[in-house]
């Protein structure tokens, strides 16, 4: 049986998939959410000319030629703090004390910082007069109306994940909430007679269900929500019953384990009672037995099914390669991988099964011989069960299909797992 290429499998999973609908979310809850519409400035910023410094609002013409030796004395006739409207006009020979963010009073055309005067910095009574010790220019230390944003400016584009700076600019520009795509929901099932939940006491021949824990965290890291369908034994009816619950609640249902060619691998049979397998077996290492299908939800919408391989590293890697891009598409991201890739030189030989693309668990270190370059080394054993190498890894080094091995010294692409692109 021929195996599907990675790209073909991914294209088939993503075909026709549109981002989920939009909802409005308060800025305080919108970090990481993906904008569904362009975000426009609702107001101009700064909304009025204001001071960039603590100091004195003056007429620049009054202080021409001022210096330490020949300071110019001005009468201080008022004060404007941030949040207060000026009540005095700066006439020739006068100044108004102004605080950072204070609205520029009429008549003034420059601000002289307090440090360039004889006035005391910090908390102090307003002086009756001030000596200005430097000349200034019209506009000095004034933040001009509209110098940051203009009402109607496009601030953020649809498909952008909201970062702290995006939320701050949205708030400054007048928004209290933002239109974002709904977060995808993912239901997660562990399958296998050997499994007990994480933390539960283990009987003979049992292991903990680590895949469900890891997958739920991968879902959360990708910005989606997950629900647990528990653990099914290796029986078609148990798996099918739990999967059905998942399709009632989620856009994506993931089972791990039971999807290969073993005598107890019942997951595909169970899923076929609910939907249709679209593809099975991909030319990757680890993760070959992955199955993908579509099912109709009780509400009539379509939902995606992933039968991920049971081996813990296979489950992790195939989520990264196939589930994560689909989740990002549903969540409205325009960039679907969401991980940076770096070029690195191997310090170890990498082996790869013929015709399959291998994603080897590697650590990255700066290359002492090449400025800006990286060295990639095996993070540990490359068996699909070796979680210790997965947790040590900074990334996945890619051995293309046409190579059965890459020698030490060869250059490879490494997908960084320790970084997330917005
Ligand atoms: P399977 O594909 O069901 O034959 O599982 C392959 C290997 O992965 C077996 O050693 C299973 O015990 C193990 N495995 C399956 N599911 C899980 C899981 N949820 N957590 C940890 N290991 C698992
Ligand atoms: Mg199993």
**Tokens 């051995």 belong to residue:** 399
Closest CA to 229 of 209, 208, 249, 246: 246
Note the ligand closest to the C-alpha atom of 309.
1
Over 80: is that where the pLDDT of 1 sits? Answer: no
Is-contact 215 256, C-beta < 8 A? yes
CA separation for the pair 297, 417 (Å, rounded):
33
CA atoms within 13 A on the CB side of 50: 19
Ligand 1: which residues within 6 Å by Cβ? 190, 192, 194-195, 207, 209-212, 256-260, 262, 309-312
Strand partners, 150: none
More confident residue, 124 or 268: 268
Over 70: is that where the pLDDT of 365 sits? Answer: yes
By CB neighbour count within 10 A (0-12 exposed, 13-18 middle, 19+ buried), where does 264 fall?
middle
Report which protein residue has its CA nearest ligand 1's atom 17. 310
Q: What is the mean pLDDT of residues 97-106?
A: 98
Closest CA to 134 of 156, 159, 117, 119: 117
Q: How far is the CA of 130 from the centre of ligand 1 (A)?
A: 79
Question: What confidence score (pLDDT) does residue 420 get?
Answer: 73
Over 60: is that where the pLDDT of 422 sits? Answer: no
User: What would the DSSP string read from start to end of 27-39?
Assistant: GGG-TT-BBSS-E
Q: How far is the CA of 264 from the centre of ligand 2 (A)?
A: 7
By CB neighbour count within 10 A (0-12 exposed, 13-18 middle, 19+ buried), where does 371 fall?
exposed
Q: How far is the CA of 89 from the centre of ligand 2 (A)?
A: 82
Over 80: is that where the pLDDT of 421 sits? Answer: no
How big is the CA angle at 131 (ends 128 and 132), to the nearest 5 degrees? 130
**End-to-end CA separation in angstroms for the chain:** 38
Question: What confidence score (pLDDT) does residue 238 get?
Answer: 98
Q: Residue 297: which pLDDT band, with cuts at 50, 70 and 90? A: very high
Q: Residue 313: which pLDDT band, with cuts at 50, 70 and 90? A: very high
CA separation for the pair 327, 223 (Å, rounded):
8
CA separation for the pair 236, 249 (Å, rounded):
20
Report which protein residue has its CA nearest ligand 1's atom 15. 310
Average pLDDT, the chain: 97
By CB neighbour count within 10 A (0-12 exposed, 13-18 middle, 19+ buried), where does 311 fall?
buried
How big is the CA angle at 60 (ends 58 and 61), to the nearest 5 degrees? 120
Note the ligand closest to the C-alpha atom of 314.
1
Q: How far is the CA of 308 from the centre of ligand 1 (A)?
A: 10
Over 80: is that where the pLDDT of 419 sits? Answer: no
| pLDDT tens per residue, range 231-257 | 999 999 999 999 999 999 999 999 999
DSSP state of 422: -
Q: Residue 2: which pLDDT band, with cuts at 50, 70 and 90? A: confident
Note the ligand closest to the C-alpha atom of 257.
1
Alpha-carbon distance values, 142 to 65, 83, 86, 111, 197 (Å): 20, 16, 15, 7, 63
CA separation for the pair 295, 306 (Å, rounded):
11
**Closest-lying ligand 1 atom to the alpha carbon of residue 311:** 8
Q: Residue 156: which pLDDT band, with cuts at 50, 70 and 90? A: very high
Note the ligand closest to the C-alpha atom of 190.
1
Indicate if the alpha-carbon torsion angle 27, 33, 37, 38 is positive or negative. positive
% of the chain surpassing 90 pLDDT: 97
Report which protein residue has its CA nearest ligand 1's atom 5. 310
Q: Residue 14: which pLDDT band, with cuts at 50, 70 and 90? A: very high
Q: How far is the CA of 366 from the centre of ligand 1 (A)?
A: 35
Q: How far is the CA of 117 from the centre of ligand 1 (A)?
A: 75
| Chain centroid to CA 286 | 26
Q: What is the mean pLDDT of residues 293-299?
A: 95
Instruction: Give the mutation target among 190, 191, 192 for probing the ligand 1 site: most ligand atoms within 8 A of CB.
Output: 192
pTM, two decimals, is 0.92
């Amino acid at each position: 049986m021929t195996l599907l290429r990675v790209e073909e499998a991914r294209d088939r999973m993503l075909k026709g998939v549109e981002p989920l609908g939009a909802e409005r979310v308060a800025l305080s809850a919108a970090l990481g959410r993906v904008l569904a519409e362009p975000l426009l400035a609702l107001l101009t910023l700064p909304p009025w000319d204001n001071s960039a410094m603590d100091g004195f609002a003056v007429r620049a013409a009054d202080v021409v030629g001022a210096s330490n030796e020949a300071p110019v004395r001005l009468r201080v006739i008022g004060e404007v703090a941030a949040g207060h409207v000026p009540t005095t006009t700066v006439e020739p020979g006068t100044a108004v004390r102004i605080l950072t963010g204070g609205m520029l009073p009429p008549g003034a055309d420059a601000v002289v910082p307090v440090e360039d005067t004889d006035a005391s910095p910090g908390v102090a009574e307003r002086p009756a007069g001030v000596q200005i010790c430097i000349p200034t220019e019209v506009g000095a230390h004034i933040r001009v109306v509209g110098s940051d944003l203009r009402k109607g400016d496009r601030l953020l584009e649809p498909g952008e994940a909201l970062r702290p700076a995006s939320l701050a600019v949205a708030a400054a520009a007048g928004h209290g909430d933002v239109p974002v795509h709904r977060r995808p929901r993912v239901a997660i099932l562990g399958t296998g007679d050997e499994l007990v939940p994480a933390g539960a006491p283990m009987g003979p021949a049992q292991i903990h269900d680590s895949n469900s824990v890891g997958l739920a965290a991968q879902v959360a890291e990708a910005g989606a929500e997950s629900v647990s369908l528990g653990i099914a034994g290796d029986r078609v009816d148990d798996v099918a019953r739990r999967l059905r619950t998942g399709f009632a609640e989620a856009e994506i249902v993931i089972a791990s384990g039971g999807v290969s060619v073993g005598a107890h691998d019942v997951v595909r049979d169970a899923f076929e009672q609910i939907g249709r397998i679209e593809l099975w077996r991909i030319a990757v290492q680890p993760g070959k037995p992955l199955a993908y299908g579509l099912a109709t939800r009780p509400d009539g919408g379509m939902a995606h099914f992933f039968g991920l391989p049971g081996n813990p590293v296979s489950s992790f890697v195939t989520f990264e390669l196939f589930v994560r891009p689909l989740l990002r598409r549903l969540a409205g991201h325009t960039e679907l991988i969401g991980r940076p890739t770096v070029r690195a030189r191997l310090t170890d030989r990498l082996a790869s099964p013929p015709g399959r693309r291998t994603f080897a668990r590697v650590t990255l270190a700066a290359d002492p011989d090449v400025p800006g370059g990286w060295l990639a080394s095996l993070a540990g054993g490359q068996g699909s069960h070796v979680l210790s190498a997965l947790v040590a890894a900074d990334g996945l080094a890619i051995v293309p299909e046409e190579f059965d091995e890459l020698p030490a010294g060869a250059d490879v692409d490494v997908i960084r797992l320790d970084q997330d692109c917005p």
